[in-house]
Amino acid sequence: MNIGYFSVFAGLVTAAFSFLAFYLGVKNKNSELLRNAERSAYLSALFTFLASFILIYYFLTDNFKVEYVASYSSRALPAFYKFTAFWAGSDGSLLLWAAILAGYSVAFLRLERKDALTALSMAGIMGVQTFFLLLLSTVANPFEELDFFPQDGLGLNPLLQTPEMVAHPPTLFMGYAGAAVVFSLAIAGVYLAEDRWVIRGRKWIVFTWIWLTQGIFWGAIWAYKVLGWGGYWAWDPVENSSLLPWLTLSALMHSIMIQEARRAMKLWNILLAFATFEFVILGTFITRSGVISSVHAFGQSGLTAPFVSFMLAVLVLTLWLIYEKRGYIKSEDVVESPVSKEATFLFNNLILVASAMTVFWGTIFPLVSEGLTGYKVTIGPPFYNQVITPLAIALMILLGLCIAFPWRKSAGKDLAKKLKVPFLAFLIALSASLALKLKIEMALALAIFFFSLTTHIQQYIQDTIAFSSEYKSKSYLKVILRRRRRYGGYTVHLGLLLVFVGVAGSVYDQTFENVKLELNQPKNFGEYTLVYRGLKFEDTPLKTVWTAQVEVWKGDTLLTVLTPGIEEYKTRGREEIRRVDIYSEPLKDLYLIFNGGGKDYIFLEVKINPLVNLIWLGCWIMTFGGIFALIPRSLVSKYVFSERGVAA
Amino acid sequence: MKIRSLIFIFFLISISSALTVDDVEKDVMCVCGCGKVLENCECATAERMRKEIGEMIAKGMSKEEIISELQATYGKEVLVNPPKEGVFLGLWYYPVAITIAGVSIVYVLLKRRGGKWYGDPDETINVDEEYLER
């Protein structure tokens, strides 16, 4: 037996034991069983890590006897990409999923108090782990060996040989596996009829959300810089499946605050945790099964039955628990007044969940149409652009409004006063944009951006002054650290606003042209002048590369030399890809795609993508906001509080 | 004079709305199996399809006629979005139905009001979990 496979199998046995022992230990209040369950969970994590290291070792040592290694690596592949080829295919990426979840299980055991809620949550986590290890030891075994030892492997898909693709799967899976922890906590909380799960769940929800954000960011930047079509989001089923859990988790991040403050929305929060987890499993399934055609899918049909069964089992378990614990789930009222932060949270949840349900519908509609009419239709960007745009606009306006609303209740008069300046900012931005002859859509997007930005800046200042006075503290830093949940949230909002305006800019203001550049003949494109200076040729054991040398001038200033290229890989059927090159200015990108040519001329697709950098900046600001909100009490308590629980 | 002006305006409109391959390729899929919209695909199949579209434009066919012709050749899978008819109407009605249902639920929740308050969520994160869990 292959030692890697043995590790997976041992991980499976220990995970399954741990799952049962945690459940039975809580049910029968058997502490000895719980201790064994914990030991078994650690052991399962150890075996899963070991299996991962063995697979990496096989890649680094070119062990092509292992079919998975032979399929995704080659001798000429640089060592760094041999390491990342670990998650290039379906089986390896499932092992990565399991390894990350194993990491979460260890962290959960170390960080949480040893009680029934933790134990039952661990049962959920180990149940999910058992499912993945079962797949890895049956239909998705990455240690399957060939009957012969090939001279060389097929090589790694060239599109995956980029730093962005190194970051995308691990970050996304950190979010995916985190959703399993959040769901496990939620069902454990319902089973035990305890509200404590939302208090404990907060950090896991925010942590998971940060990673989902990062995963989406790296996926988008990869599409932009590597796929070479000039965009970052194509509403592809696999892209959608990473957005779905982000939307529902963002809704949950807000609605658990209502459960904390008012013991309301209990059922809703369970449903959001459930939906997030189901979307995560669906995303894993869509990417690996190829059930919906996608440029990103691996395509492995043997996974359909286990994934569908698992999703159904999760659905049945959740519905059964909701029915059994309906007495506990009965919530108290959500709002005291419609003019309150709670009310805006209801609308925020409505928009986020309606967006998720719409994207979900568009994603699975090809399957629905196949069932009803016998053929699979395609749902392209126009559908999503048409239905998501109004929801996104509503969300951005709400973002500006919600921050002006206090908890519990507010007087309409105070609110109108607060919104005066932002409304003025809206009008100025709209007028200025129209005066600059921007498209009406772009002008509206900028006006909404400035409206919401102004409410945020205003609220930052007002809150900080008010809280300083309330806490009798002159240190604004102390105030911000004490209210880090709120200020972290504000920062996330600012990041999201930048993403919004960046998307609007790149959608409504993009210009492009297919041009033929003659050698040494300048050609104007917008404010830039492009000059083709010749073709470079490079031949390595891995690939043949043709690189066009294009000078970019603005007036009399040479800005840069861009080198878009075409690479032909010698493995995987001589696959050919285009390497785009980008000249970035703070507010726009000059984006060149090399479409072929010769010594004396080349064909280029030239695009100017305005504001696209704001999307990347916005994603980092969102991440920073999430991390700020996550700062543990233990880290700041000495600075913020003079003594435990007492304000400074 | 009026007729001349009308002809001139018509001529201008015709120029400004002259059909190009770009106009059509954003509404059809590449049929190579990549799952990309034609405008985003650079494979040989995509080039062939663009050439076909270009030839149809040269024949004076309208966008609808070209899409219909492509559909007849490659099947309905070639459409970026299904037609707004029959069972496919469900695709377009669903988001509206979901939003209406959501707004109704929010309306009901806003009507039911209660004053119970267990603590500011900003502050709960500063209190010991053990204390909160009591």
CATH number at residue B30: 1.10.8
Beta-strand (E) ranges in A419-485?
none
For testing contact with chain A, the best of B40, B71, B88, B89 (most A CBs within 10 A)? B40
Rounded Cα distance between B46 and B31, Å, is: 8
Tell me, what's the pLDDT at A543? 86
- Please state the φ and ψ torsions of residue A581, each to the nearest 5 degrees: -135, 145
Task: Identify all chain B residues contacting A261, using CB atoms and an 8 Å cutoff.
Answer: 117-121
pLDDT tops 90 at residue B87: no
Reported confidence tier of residue B85, pLDDT bands at 50, 70, 90: confident
For residue B108, tell me if it sits in a domain.
no
Q: How many C-beta atoms lie closer than 10 Å to residue A201's C-beta?
A: 26
Q: Could you write out the three-class secondary structure of A313-375? A: HHHHHHHHHHHHCHHHHCCCCCECCCCCHHHHHHHHHHHHHHHHHHHHHHHHHHHHHHHHHCC
- Per the model's pLDDT, the better-predicted residue between B5 and A20 turns out to be A20
Tell me, what's the pLDDT at B2? 54
> Does A350 contact B120 at a Cβ distance shorter than 8 Å?
no
Task: Identify all chain A residues contacting B37, using CB atoms and an 8 Å cutoff.
Answer: 234, 380-381
Task: Identify all chain A residues contacting B132, using CB atoms and an 8 Å cutoff.
Answer: 196, 199
Task: Identify all chain A residues contacting B91, using CB atoms and an 8 Å cutoff.
Answer: 361-362, 365, 379, 383
Task: Identify all chain A residues contacting B27, using CB atoms and an 8 Å cutoff.
Answer: 380, 382
Tell me, what's the pLDDT at B15? 44
Q: Which of B33, B80, B87 sits opposite A380 (nearest CB)?
A: B80
pLDDT tops 50 at residue B16: no
Rounded Cα distance between B88 and A373, Å, is: 10
Which of residues 64 through 123 in chain B touch A, CB cutoff 8 A?
75-77, 79-82, 86-88, 90-92, 94-95, 98-99, 102-103, 105-106, 109-110, 112-122
> Does B91 contact A362 at a Cβ distance shorter than 8 Å?
yes
For testing contact with chain A, the best of B31, B110, B117, B125 (most A CBs within 10 A)? B125
Which of residues 89 through 118 in chain A touch B, CB cutoff 8 A?
113
pLDDT tops 90 at residue B21: no
Query: What residue of B is the nearest CA neighbor of A343?
Result: B110
Contacts 24+ apart (CB under 8 A), A96-99: A96/A52, A96/A169, A96/A170, A96/A173, A97/A132, A97/A173, A97/A176, A97/A177, A97/A284, A98/A11, A98/A48, A98/A129, A98/A132, A98/A133, A98/A136, A99/A48, A99/A49, A99/A51, A99/A52
Supply the range of the domain harboring residue B25: 2-82
Tell me, what's the pLDDT at A644? 44
For testing contact with chain A, the best of B32, B91, B117 (most A CBs within 10 A)? B91
> Does B117 contact A408 at a Cβ distance shorter than 8 Å?
yes
A558 three-state secondary structure: strand
> Does A484 contact B125 at a Cβ distance shorter than 8 Å?
yes
- Whether chain B has a CB inside 8 Å of the CB on A387: the answer is yes
The number of distinct structural domains making up chain B is 1
Tell me, what's the pLDDT at A297? 52
A116-155 confidence digits (pLDDT tens): 999 999 999 999 999 999 999 999 999 999 999 999 999 8
Which of residues 48 through 67 in chain B touch A, CB cutoff 8 A?
none
Tell me, what's the pLDDT at B12? 47
Tell me, what's the pLDDT at B14? 45
Whole-number average pLDDT of chain B: 78
**Residues of chain A falling short of pLDDT 50:** 643-648
> Does B119 contact A260 at a Cβ distance shorter than 8 Å?
yes
Tell me, what's the pLDDT at A357? 95
For residue B125, tell me if it sits in a domain.
no
